[in-house]
Amino acid sequence: MIRHCKDIGMFALDRGRSTCKFSTEFCSERCYNNKFYTMNIGLDKRDHKNDAYWDALTSEQFKKELYRKRLSTKRFRFCTRGEPFSVSSDVFLIAEIAKACPQTDFWAPTRAWRNKALRSIIEFTLFRMHNVYITASVDPSNTQEEIDMLVDRGWSTHFFGNDEQYPFVVPSKIIKCPSKWHHSITCVDCNVACFNKQQTHSWLKEH
């Protein structure tokens, strides 16, 4: 189930769209994966396999499978489809995986910040880990108050949904994603935003 995603240059592990419990209506309607479900009628079956794999996954199993890969394993993404943190046990599983694979950096974009309990567990468990990078996914339906809350709590963010205007006030420079806007680099080699321990706010181009 661990697959190499050529567009980002990294291995990734996906989950079914039923895990997207915390998406906004805007996110659900504009999700870039919608087109893939339309084009590939077998994708729902793939989701079921991914979810079954995730439910049975252990950190040692993950480590063995990842380090058998021939392409670079220096970075990894949870998830290109689905939500990494649908329940609290997902947080602890990713923490165990990161501990088992200290030479790999793990990136997890998430909407779980919208759930108060999960947000606190993620902050307490994962923010302190040297090889885990969490970004809060936001869109035009979110509010300035929500962004202020995330900033105050130390979250990095990435925004999508408007290619013409970035709608929020944040305390640092807005970073236009080099991969999505300029196609100048893939995520595996980029240190500008998502793989940065400093708080950053990136702007993704819709795709």
pLDDT over 90 (residue 116): yes
Q: Distance (Å, rounded) from C-alpha 112 to C-alpha 85? A: 6
pLDDT over 80 (residue 39): no
Question: Domain-by-domain residue ranges, the chain?
Answer: 3-203
Of the two residues 175 and 29, the one the predictor is more confident about is: 175
pLDDT over 80 (residue 49): yes
Q: In three state form, how does the secondary structure of 22-59 look?
A: CCCHHHHHHCCCHHHHHHCCCHHHHHHHHHHHHHHCCH
Whole-model pTM: value is 0.93
Mean local confidence (pLDDT), 100-125: 98
pLDDT over 80 (residue 141): yes
Return the number of other C-beta atoms located less than 10 Å from residue 48's C-beta: 11
Q: Are strands 75-78 and 10-13 parallel, antiparallel or unpaired?
A: parallel
Prior bond of 190 cis (ω within 30°): no
Confidence of residue 41 (pLDDT cuts 50, 70, 90): confident
pLDDT tens by residue, 68-78: 999 999 999 99
Confidence of residue 37 (pLDDT cuts 50, 70, 90): low
Cβ atoms of 184 and 170 closer than 8 Å: no
pLDDT over 90 (residue 115): yes
**Confidence at residue 207, expressed as pLDDT on a 0 to 100 scale:** 61
Of the two residues 120 and 6, the one the predictor is more confident about is: 120
Q: Whole-number mean pLDDT of the chain?
A: 93
**Confidence at residue 32, expressed as pLDDT on a 0 to 100 scale:** 73
pLDDT tens by residue, 155-206: 999 999 999 999 999 999 999 998 888 877 889 889 889 999 999 999 998 7
**Confidence at residue 179, expressed as pLDDT on a 0 to 100 scale:** 83
CB contact set of 93 (below 8 Å; sequence gap of 6+): 57, 59
Confidence of residue 86 (pLDDT cuts 50, 70, 90): very high
